[in-house]
Every structure is written in C-alpha cells, then in structure tokens.
A and B are shown apart, each in its own frame.
Chain A
C-alpha cells in the first residue's frame, strides 16, 4: 500500500543553523505534499505544501522541494530559532484519493 518514509526521526541543531527533513513516497499518483508542525500538546498545523507541478516553494524561512522522479520531497528550515522546536510531519495525497498518508515524524530540537 501507500507509504511515506521520513528521516531523520530526531534532529538536533544549533540556533541559527539550517535543518533539513527528508521524505520518500511510494505511490506515484501522489500529487500533493503538505508539511505539518506539531507543538507539544497540540494538534498538527499545516505550515507549507507543494503540488507535483512545482519543484520548489518558499515561505520566509521554510522551503520545500520536490523530486517527482525520485519520489523525494524535503523541508528546509533556515536560521532556526528555539520556537522551531517541534515534531514535523510530511504527508502525501492525490487527487480523488481523499486519504492523506503521513510520515512517522521528525522531532526537531533547536538549541539556544
């Protein structure tokens, strides 16, 4: 069945450094790739997404890239801040599928 693998499971960076989280999807029909941030005790929050007709999307300090051929997509956070510390989830969905498949999550620690 559909599967999304996410790496690493834990990531620790120094404040100001960049963080990169990578995901791989299995279903070639997937054409929508959202990313979520989950803070402790809260529900996931959509922070950025990308569609298959776009290779890269940027929003201030976060960016996502997509390589359809390799079925890889990544989240890049630049100039990390302590408030970026959270669990990040990647996900994949496709038109008409109505089932979003999530990765297992990456716990990001940003050390001040």
Chain B
C-alpha cells in the first residue's frame, strides 16, 4: 500500500542547476498536485493536474515546470534553481468527487536546499 511516493527525500543544489522531483501514486487518482511549504506560510500550490495530459498553474508556478504523461506520475522540474526555491516540496493526489477534490493523500516530502 504505497500511496504517494516522492523521491528524493533530500537534495542540495547549486544555484542554476536543474533537477526533477519525482512523484508517483498507485491509487488511480485523477488529480495530482505539487505544493511547497515554507515556515509560517502553510502550503502553497505550485502546479496541478486533473488527468493525463492536463496541467495548470497554481499560486506560485514561476520557476517550475510539470507534465503528466501517465495517471501515476507527476514530476516537478526546476529549470534553474534559485535560493528562493529552498523549501519542502509535497506532492499530493486526490480523487475528484462530484467536481471537488476529496481525500487528498500527501507524500512524505522532499527537502530541497539551493546554495
């Protein structure tokens, strides 16, 4: 019963480097999303997807790209890392019940530090 799996758990990047945070879910959920968590600011939505081939921007999308080629996977790409992207990143998946997201499941998070 894996749920939502994120890799890696920890990562240190140098400014300007690129990398991909991986997220996979095994619950056949239509909806997947990426959040960043910063002290005192709760969880802020970066990008989300309501199904394979469909993605959209959240509250803080700049500097991040996503794609959704399969139902299971939703990778988050940092094109050119900046210190402001130092954060804890969470991937989540949900079923879409009657048009509203329900029963969200979160991964364990990726702690990213950009130096």
User: Could you tell me which residues of chain A, from 39 to 60, have a CB within 8 Å of some CB in chain B?
Assistant: 41-46, 49
Instruction: Say yes or no for A102: interface residue by CB 8 A criterion.
Output: yes
A100 within 8 A of B: yes
- State the Cβ distance, A22 to closest chain B Cβ, in Å: 15
B108 engages A100 (CB within 8 Å)? no
Are A99 and B108 in contact, CB atoms less than 8 angstroms apart? no
Is the CB of B53 closer than 8 A to any CB of chain A?
no
- Chain A: interface residue total (CB-CB under 8 A): 28
**By DSSP majority rule, is chain A's interface helix, strand, loop, or mixed?**
loop
Instruction: Give the A-B contact count at a CB cut-off of 8 A.
Output: 65
What 1/0 mask marks residues of chain A from 5 to 27 whose CB sits below 8 Å from any chain B CB? 01001000000000000000000
A93 lies within 8 A of B100 (CB): yes
Closest A residue, CB atoms, query B106: A43
Contact: A98 with B48, CB < 8 Å? yes
Which of chain B's residues have a CB closer than 8 A to the CB of A100? 33, 45, 101, 104
What distance in Å separates the Cβ of A38 from its nearest Cβ neighbour in chain B? Answer: 8
Q: Of B45, B58, B99, B109, which is within 8 A of A43 by CB?
A: B109
With a cutoff of 8 Å between Cβ atoms, the chain A residues found around residue B106 in the complex are 36, 43-45
Whether the Cβ atoms of A31 and B104 lie closer than 8 Å is no
Q: Is there contact, CB below 8 Å, between A102 and B43? A: yes
Q: A44-B106, A45-B106 are in contact. Are A99 and B42 (CB under 8 A)?
A: no
The smallest beta-carbon distance between A51 and chain B, in angstroms, is: 8
| Other-chain contact of A42, B43, B56, B104, B108 (Cβ < 8 Å) | B108
B41 at the interface (CB under 8 A from A): yes
Least Cβ–Cβ distance between A108 and chain B, in angstroms: 15
Which chain A residue has the least Cβ–Cβ distance from B43? Answer: A102
A-B contact pairs, 6 of them (CB 8 A): A32-B100, A34-B104, A41-B109, A43-B92, A44-B43, A102-B42
7 interchain residue pairs of minimum CB distance: A43-B106, A102-B42, A95-B99, A102-B43, A104-B42, A95-B100, A32-B100
